[in-house]
């Protein structure tokens, strides 16, 4: 509890804005891990051979921006191929690039296409373009009701868990799973994990605890705020964030608050650590309610792992509709 108190004191000036009625993109405070410089990074070159420099690309529009930088839709002039280009200013995103470079291709993770070192301290991260935008935007557009059906969510659960399985078997923790970081391919309606800005590789050492104290406060699990009370399992934090995200796209609002309600980050951290986790309303199916409970156990021993969840009856529903 002392650590939680210390972290809360450190963050007293933070203000969290959560999803609210005017449906603007939620701007949520983030905690960043300590950055480190990896000498191997300079060896990672552009993997998409044709795109050698920024001049090869034409900026078409701004797709979004966040604490990590601005993301543009760009067109490769020679081939007309479309990409997303994340331009990071002020500080080399070594950690993000290292993670992206070490994740092999997966149909459930936004593809990494290379690095463009630019002038004036800017770095461009070239990514697969996801034409359907993020899950939180889709939900805002769906029938005006802000929610997705259970069948759609089961399919998304299968896809995101498959992506997390790919990461976790490589000892990578995403640390920032939330609807805004789950991107959609419009043609297939497949969902892929994006934004490795605070992700990290864990080694099983004590350092892991501080490395994974990163991400968007609202989606952080109790043990990431207060490992002394709740224990430490870096991978389990991604499961909690996924459960909360899938619950949000079903009920249409951030589960710890009422629709339209806002909260200070300190109040929210206390709520997450001290109160019972949220659960789905009774009209949700038994399978779905059980799946969310399995993701949102505060007790780490009871929270299911990604590999267990991949065989949960709710996820098996999504797996069969995915094939
Ligand atoms: N591959 C992509 N294809 C299409 N749009 C993308 C892609 N990557 C990012 N975006 C858009 O850009 C926005 C910001 O991207 P990203 O989340 O990577 O940046 P960030 O600075 O880390 O954001 P945040 O601080 O909110 O996590 C996303 O919410 C999304 O709308």
Query: Contacts from 54-63 at CB under 8 Å and sequence distance 24+?
Result: 54/116, 54/118, 54/124, 57/83, 57/85, 57/116, 59/85, 63/133
Residue 158 CA to residue 160 CA, distance in Å, equals 6
Q: CA 157 from chain center: how many Å?
A: 13
Q: Where are the alpha helices (DSSP H) in the chain?
A: 2-10, 94-102, 135-141, 150-168, 207-211, 222-225, 227-230, 234-251, 265-274, 286-295, 306-309, 313-322
Task: Determine if ligand 1 sits within 6 Å of the CB of residue 57.
Answer: no
Q: Is 3 helix (H, G, I), strand (E, B) or coil?
A: helix
Question: Is 178 among the annotated ligand-binding positions?
Answer: no
The DSSP letter of residue 231 is: -
Task: Determine if ligand 1 sits within 6 Å of the CB of residue 243.
Answer: no
pLDDT of residue 219 exceeding 80: yes
> Is residue 21, in this structure, part of any structural domain at all?
no
| 117-126, 222-231, 295-304: least confident range | 117-126
- Give the residue whose CA is nearest to atom 24 of ligand 1: 66
Mutation probe of ligand 1 site: the residue of 28, 190, 195, 214 with most atoms within 8 A of C-beta: 195
Tokens of 222: 């109790």
Q: pLDDT tens digits for 257-271?
A: 988 788 888 889 999
- What confidence score (pLDDT) does residue 323 get? 65
Instruction: Looking at the structure, tell me whether residues 287 and 161 fall in a common domain.
Output: yes
Label residue 88 by pLDDT band (50, 70, 90): confident
* Annotated active-site residue in 94, 176, 195, 238: 176
pLDDT of residue 240 exceeding 50: yes
Instruction: Looking at the structure, tell me whether residues 102 and 82 fall in a common domain.
Output: yes
Indicate the length of the chain as a whole number: 323
Cα of 166 from ligand 1 centre, angstroms: 21
The percent helix, strand, coil of the chain (3-state, each to 5) is: 40, 20, 45
Instruction: Looking at the structure, tell me whether residues 153 and 274 fall in a common domain.
Output: yes
Residue 19 or residue 297, greater confidence = 297
Mutation probe of ligand 1 site: the residue of 28, 60, 86 with most atoms within 8 A of C-beta: 86
Last residue of a domain, one of 74, 93, 128: 128
Cα of 72 from ligand 1 centre, angstroms: 9
Cα of 35 from ligand 1 centre, angstroms: 20
Cα of 125 from ligand 1 centre, angstroms: 11
Task: Determine if ligand 1 sits within 6 Å of the CB of residue 129.
Answer: yes
Instruction: Looking at the structure, tell me whether residues 156 and 39 fall in a common domain.
Output: no
CATH number of the domain at 33, please. 3.30.200.20
Residue 2: count of CB within 10 angstroms of its CB: 9
Residue 187 CA to residue 132 CA, distance in Å, equals 8
Task: Determine if ligand 1 sits within 6 Å of the CB of residue 67.
Answer: yes
CATH number of the domain at 286, please. 1.10.510.10
- What confidence score (pLDDT) does residue 92 get? 66
ipTM (interface predicted TM): 0.94
Instruction: Looking at the structure, tell me whether residues 182 and 38 fall in a common domain.
Output: no
> Is residue 19, in this structure, part of any structural domain at all?
no
Task: Determine if ligand 1 sits within 6 Å of the CB of residue 319.
Answer: no
Cα of 109 from ligand 1 centre, angstroms: 13
> Is residue 117, in this structure, part of any structural domain at all?
yes
Task: Determine if ligand 1 sits within 6 Å of the CB of residue 68.
Answer: yes
Tokens of 204: 């099983």
For residue 94, what are the domain limits? 28-128
- What confidence score (pLDDT) does residue 261 get? 83
Task: Determine if ligand 1 sits within 6 Å of the CB of residue 69.
Answer: yes
> Is residue 22, in this structure, part of any structural domain at all?
no
Sign of dihedral through CA atoms 215, 207, 225, 245? positive
Instruction: Looking at the structure, tell me whether residues 154 and 199 fall in a common domain.
Output: yes
Instruction: Looking at the structure, tell me whether residues 38 and 7 fall in a common domain.
Output: no
Last residue of a domain, one of 128, 162, 187: 128
Q: pLDDT tens digits for 126-148?
A: 999 999 999 988 777 665 567 89
Instruction: Looking at the structure, tell me whether residues 272 and 294 fall in a common domain.
Output: yes
Number of domains in the chain: 2
Residue 28 Cα: closest atom of ligand 1: 26
Instruction: Looking at the structure, tell me whether residues 229 and 305 fall in a common domain.
Output: yes
Instruction: Looking at the structure, tell me whether residues 44 and 142 fall in a common domain.
Output: no
Q: Is 153 helix (H, G, I), strand (E, B) or coil?
A: helix
> Is residue 203, in this structure, part of any structural domain at all?
yes
> Is residue 295, in this structure, part of any structural domain at all?
yes
Cα of 227 from ligand 1 centre, angstroms: 29
Residue 216 Cα: closest atom of ligand 1: 27
Indicate if 176 belongs to the active site: yes
Residue 197 Cα: closest atom of ligand 1: 22
Query: Contacts from 291-298 at CB under 8 Å and sequence distance 24+?
Result: 291/157, 291/243, 291/315, 292/243, 292/246, 292/247, 294/243, 295/239, 295/240, 295/242, 295/243, 295/244, 295/246, 296/240, 296/243, 296/244, 296/247, 298/222, 298/230
Nearest to 232 by CA among 301, 130, 135, 132: 301
Instruction: Looking at the structure, tell me whether residues 174 and 262 fall in a common domain.
Output: yes
Residue 209 CA to residue 144 CA, distance in Å, equals 40
Instruction: Looking at the structure, tell me whether residues 310 and 162 fall in a common domain.
Output: yes
Task: Determine if ligand 1 sits within 6 Å of the CB of residue 136.
Answer: no
Residue 25 Cα: closest atom of ligand 1: 29
Residue 138: count of CB within 10 angstroms of its CB: 20
Beta bridge partners of 74: 59, 83
Q: pLDDT tens digits for 150-160?
A: 999 999 999 99
């Amino acid at each position: 509890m002392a650590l939680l108190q210390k972290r809360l004191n450190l963050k007293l000036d933070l203000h969290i804005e959560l999803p609210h009625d005017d449906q603007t993109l939620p701007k949520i405070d983030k905690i960043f891990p300590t950055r480190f410089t990896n000498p191997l990074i300079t060896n990672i070159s552009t993997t998409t051979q044709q795109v050698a420099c920024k001049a090869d690309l034409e900026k078409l529009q701004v797709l979004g921006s966040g604490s990590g930088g601005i993301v543009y839709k760009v067109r490769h002039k020679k081939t007309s191929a479309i990409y997303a280009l994340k331009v990071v200013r002020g500080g080399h995103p070594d950690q993000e690039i290292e993670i992206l470079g070490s994740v092999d291709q997966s149909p459930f993770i936004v593809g990494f296409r290379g690095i463009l070192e630019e002038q004036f301290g800017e770095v461009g991260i070239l990514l697969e373009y996801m034409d359907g935008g993020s899950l939180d935007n889709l939900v805002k557009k769906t029938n005006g009701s802000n929610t997705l059906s259970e069948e759609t969510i089961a399919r998304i659960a299968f896809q995101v868990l498959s992506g997390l399985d790919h990461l976790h078997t490589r000892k990578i923790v995403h640390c920032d799973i939330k609807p805004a970081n789950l991107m959609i391919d419009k043609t297939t309606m497949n969902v892929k994990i994006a934004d490795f800005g605070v992700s990290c590789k864990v080694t099983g050492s004590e350092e892991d605890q501080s490395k994974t104290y990163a991400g968007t406060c609202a989606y952080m699990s109790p043990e990431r705020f207060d490992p002394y009370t709740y224990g430490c399992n870096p991978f389990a934090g991604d499961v909690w964030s996924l459960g909360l995200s899938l619950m949000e796209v079903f009920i249409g609002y951030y589960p710890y608050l009422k629709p339209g309600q806002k909260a200070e980050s300190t109040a929210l951290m206390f709520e997450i650590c001290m109160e019972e986790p949220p659960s789905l309303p009774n009209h949700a199916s038994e399978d779905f309610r059980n799946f969310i409970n399995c993701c949102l156990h505060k007790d780490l021993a009871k929270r299911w792992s990604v590999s267990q969840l991949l065989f949960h009856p709710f996820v098996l529903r999504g797996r069969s509709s995915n094939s």
